[in-house]
Amino acid sequence: MSHSATSAASRGPREWSPEQAAEIELILTRYPTKKAAVMPLLWMAQDAWDWIDLDIMRLIGRTLELPPSHVHAVASFYTMFKKAPTNKYFFQVCHTLSCALVGAERILAHLEKRLELDEHGNSKDGLFSVLRVECLASCGSGPMAQMNEHFYERLTPEIIDEVIDALRSGKQLPEPRREADQWIFPVS
Amino acid sequence: MDFPRILSGNWDTPDSHRLAVAKSRGVYSQLPRALAMAPNDITQIVKDSGLRGRGGAGFPTGMKWSFVPPAEKRQGKSVYLLCNADESEPGTFKDRYCLWLDPHLLFEGMAIASRALDCHVGYIYIRGEFRYIARRLEEALAEAYAAGLLGKNILGSGHDFDLYVHVGAGAYICGEETALISSLEGEKGQPKLKPPFPAVEGAWRSPTIVNNVETLAVVPWLIQHGAAAYKALGTEKSPGTKLFSVSGHVRRPGVYEIPLGIPMMQFINEYAGGLLPGRTLKAVIPGGSSVPVMTPAEVAICSMDYESINTNAGSYLGSGGMIVMDDTTDLVAALTNLLRFYAHESCGQCTPCREGCGWMHQILCRVRDGEASEVDLGTLRDLADNIHSKTICFFGASAAMPVQSFLTKFRSEFLDRVQRRGVGAA
């Protein structure tokens, strides 16, 4: 099991901004209990503060009248809630069977070499992080990776280089290559 | 082959996710009709159609709906309708297309279902990795609300149905319906023992129906064309069309809608484009990574429906996520890959699954690397047999079935690896 809790460092106490507080009011109208808002609030906090530390868990606990331990339990169960910082550009590369059959390891090896990754998957230039992840439901268009929120599919080392070069030079992010965008019904 | 594209019919229309385009394609045309019908009549059509849940279990949808207790037996409790958009089963990627390319068809299906179920609140539980799709769903919801197609007093019918998007955060197990409910409630996504079944006591201890995206998206077509037209498609026991996701060693991997019952080889050759030049078929996982693997001989005699795959190959149609492997595949490595997935995704609640999946993965790593003996294969088999059916949810069986089937059907590959112990990986 790899959902174990990661100890989180502190960046100091947090408070919601007025905009966030208004958003929370809206979220609470959607559910019959306050507890149900714990995942939406964790997402909101992660969007604002990049990763989830103990002070954020305490803040969410106070807001929803939940013990901080419950917020911690939820935050540590779900792998997408970051309990530690990652670099600005976060590649999550699928290595489950369908992607593995079509060359996921080749993509991972290329990223490792090109970005000079350390043992934690962080690049030498401090701009990129790379994580191996399980199936992202993109099996027909592998190898694939999610870069921050974007899906890049049918990856080749050349496409990886194109994305990295654009991100490094601060240029506009290349358009995600998403298979579902280019749906063409195959004539049989 | 001539058949209606019930689910994918709008996918090649540009901007099919916009309300105006969707409406021009007939989406929402059945909503007024359904809202004027008696709720039980809607459920009856779904029952008569023989529609089976498309998430993987294949349970008859109409029957599931009929398990919701009638209003007088609910002690004033609400009914919840949850759309399972947590698509995470390796090899399965069809719901992603439905959500991205035709969200309004899903909303219409859910609104019609809500009328049948006397339900006024629904949630679409979407996996966290699909946040970019969740944003599109939010935009589409805003359009539907503004047009009076969702919310209070839909189209002046007096029926209220509020629909929300709930975003998960990376946990395969949340695709299991009781885990999905736990997650929605703000808990860790851990399954619960059944009974009580969610239809009787689910989210917030209220009657709850959890249906897959594809299942709900079929409902408007059933209202429009009736149960008999649906039964005319597919086979007697597996009626209708279904979306199949095909990946691995084929020339045209992708999502295809076909009537159930076509020969599996025809599907692989004509739809998926066949194998790569010069390759031969080695193995097929027909319905998502959890179902037993099939040999080429089994593939040759099976057709794409629930009964044929079960009778002829002891496997399952599942979610329709087909993984094709050709003769270049190291099946020991393939199984090891899958067990890494299950070891990673076990929720940790039941000991056989939590400990067993990790243990099976460790043994398989040693088999793959030529460091195991034949005794280890026996241990592996024992572990799988002792996980299957001994856990709260079906996850344990899902991890055990690949091990049992690979070891049985492709035994020589495993024996070869342990007998060359010390030689190293092939």
Q: How far is A173 from chain B (nearest CA, A)?
A: 15
Q: How confident is the model at residue A161 (pLDDT cuts 50, 70, 90)?
A: very high
Asked if residue A121 and residue A67 are part of one domain, the reply reads no
Q: How many percent of chain B have pLDDT more than 70?
A: 99
* CB spacing of B254 vs A179 below 8 angstroms: yes
Are the Cβ atoms of A36 and B329 closer than 8 angstroms?
no
Q: How many domains does chain A have?
A: 2
* Residues B92, B183 within the same domain: yes
The Cα A74–Cα A77 span in angstroms is: 5
The CATH number of residue A39's host domain is: 1.10.10.1590
- Give B309-352 pLDDT, tens digit per residue: 999 999 999 999 999 999 999 999 999 999 999 999 999 999 99
Query: What is the predicted pLDDT for the residue at B94?
Result: 96
Chain B residue with Cα closest to A38: B186
Q: What is the ipTM of this complex?
A: 0.95
Looking at the domain assignment, is residue A147 inside a domain?
Answer: yes
Within a domain: A165:
yes
Whole-Å CA distances, B395 to A100, B59, B168, B180, B385: 22, 17, 18, 13, 13
Residue B246 has pLDDT above 60, yes or no: yes
Whether pLDDT at A1 is above 70: no
- B109 falls within a domain: yes
How close is the nearest chain B Cα to the Cα of A18, in Å?
A: 22
Which tokens go with B255? 């999502």
What is the model's pLDDT at position A152?
A: 92
Question: Residue A94: which CATH number?
Answer: 3.40.30.10
Give the H/E segment covering residue B39. helix B39-49
Report which of residues A185 and B144 the model is more confident about. B144
Residues A94 and A174 in one domain: yes
The residues facing B324 across adjacent strands are B248, B284
Residue A176 domain-assigned (yes or no)? yes
Q: Is residue B139 domain-resident?
A: yes
Domain range for B292 is 241-326
* Residues B373 and B391 placed together within one structural domain of the fold: yes
Average pLDDT on B80-105 reads: 97
Asked if residues B264 and B304 have their Cβ atoms less than 8 Å apart, the reply is yes
Q: Which of B286, B355, B292 is nearest to B322 (CA)?
A: B286
Q: What is the pLDDT of residue A107?
A: 97
Mean pLDDT of chain B: 96
- Asked whether residue B102 is assigned to any structural domain, the reply reads yes
Kindly state whether A102 is in contact with chain B, defined as any CB-CB distance less than 8 angstroms. Answer: yes
* Predicted pLDDT of residue A172: 74
**C-beta separation of B416 from B377 below 8 A:** no
| A185 in contact with chain B, both atoms CB, cutoff 8 A | yes
Which residue in the set B87, B131, B248 is minimally distant from A137, CB to CB? B87
Give the distance from residue B412's alpha carbon to the nearest chain A alpha carbon, in angstroms: 21
Facing residues of A90 across strands?
A: A129
Cβ pair A96:B289 closer than 8 A: yes
Please check whether residue B425 lies inside any domain of the structure.
Answer: no
What pLDDT, on a 0 to 100 scale, did the predictor assign at position A185? 44
Of all residues in chain B, the percent with pLDDT exceeding 90 is 97
User: Strand B121-126 relative to strand B162-167: parallel, antiparallel, unpaired?
Assistant: parallel
Q: Is residue A13 part of a domain?
A: no
State whether B178 and B68 are in the same domain.
yes
Q: Taking CB atoms and an 8 Å limit, are B337 and A95 in contact across chains? A: yes
A2 C-beta neighbours (distance < 10 Å), count: 11
Average pLDDT for residues B413-418, to the nearest whole number? 95
Higher pLDDT, A3 or B79: B79
Q: Is the pLDDT of residue A8 over 80?
A: no
* Beta strands per DSSP E along B217-274: 241-248, 254-259
The answer to whether B163 and B319 are in contact (CB under 8 A) is no
Any domain includes B14: no
A52 vs A46: CA distance, rounded Å: 6
- Whether B1 maps to a domain, the answer reads no
Measured distance CA(B130)–CA(B86) in Å, rounded: 9
In eight-state DSSP terms, residue B292 is P
Mean pLDDT across B243-249: 96
Put simply, the answer to whether A39 touches B167 (Cβ < 8 Å) is yes
**A97 is a domain residue:** yes
pLDDT at res. A5: 38
Task: Tell me the pLDDT band of A12, cut-offs 50, 70 and 90.
Answer: confident
- CATH number for the domain spanning B175: value is 3.40.50.11540
Tell which of A35, A55, A77 closes a domain. Answer: A77
Average pLDDT value for residue range B73-89 = 96
Instruction: Give the lowest-confidence range in A148-157, B53-62, B255-264.
Output: A148-157
pLDDT class for B58, splitting at 50, 70, 90? very high
Pairwise CB contact (< 8 Å): A30 & B186: no
> Does B35 lie in the same domain as B81?
yes
pLDDT confidence bin for B2, thresholds 50/70/90: confident
Residues of B in contact with A101 (CB under 8 A): 247-249, 323, 325, 329, 334
Is residue A3 very low, low, confident or very high in pLDDT (cuts 50, 70, 90)?
A: very low
Domain boundary among the residues B269, B293, B326 is at B326
Q: CA-to-CA distance for B295 and B293, rounded, in angstroms?
A: 7
pLDDT > 80? residue B33: yes
- pLDDT tens, position by position, A79-104: 999 999 999 999 999 999 999 999 99
Measured in angstroms, the CA of B418 and the nearest CA of chain A are apart by 22
- pLDDT (tens digit, 9 = 90+) per residue, A34-74? 999 999 999 999 999 999 999 999 999 999 999 999 999 99
| In the predicted structure, residue A6 carries a pLDDT above the cut 80 | no
pLDDT at A20: 98
CA distances from A15 to A56, A58, B356 (A): 9, 10, 43
Q: Are B118 and B78 in contact (CB under 8 A)?
A: no
- Structural domain boundaries, residue A151: 89-180
Residues A95 and A73 in one domain: no
Same domain, A72 and A45: yes
Chain B residues with beta carbon closer than 8 angstroms to that of A179: 254
| A35 in B contact zone (CB under 8 Å) | yes
- If one counts every other C-beta atom within 10 angstroms of the C-beta of residue A187, the result is 4
pLDDT digits (tens, 9 = 90+) for B388-399: 999 999 999 999
| pLDDT average, residue stretch B81-88 | 97
Residue type for position A22: A
| pLDDT number for residue A174 | 72
Is residue B122 within a helix (H) or strand (E), and if so which, with residue range? Answer: strand B121-126
The pLDDT value given to residue A177: 67
Count structural domains, chain B. Answer: 3
In this prediction, residue B45 carries a pLDDT of 98
Average pLDDT over residues B97-122: 98
Residue that is last in its domain, among B291, B326, B361: B326
**Which of the listed residues A55, A77, A99 is the one where a domain comes to its end?**
A77
User: pTM of the full predicted structure?
Assistant: 0.95
CATH code for position B389: 1.20.1440.230
Boundary residue ending a domain (B303, B326, B349): B326
pLDDT at A181: 62
Identify the band that residue A180 occupies on the pLDDT scale cut at 50, 70 and 90: low
- Count the Cβ atoms, other than its own, within 10 Å of residue B2: 4
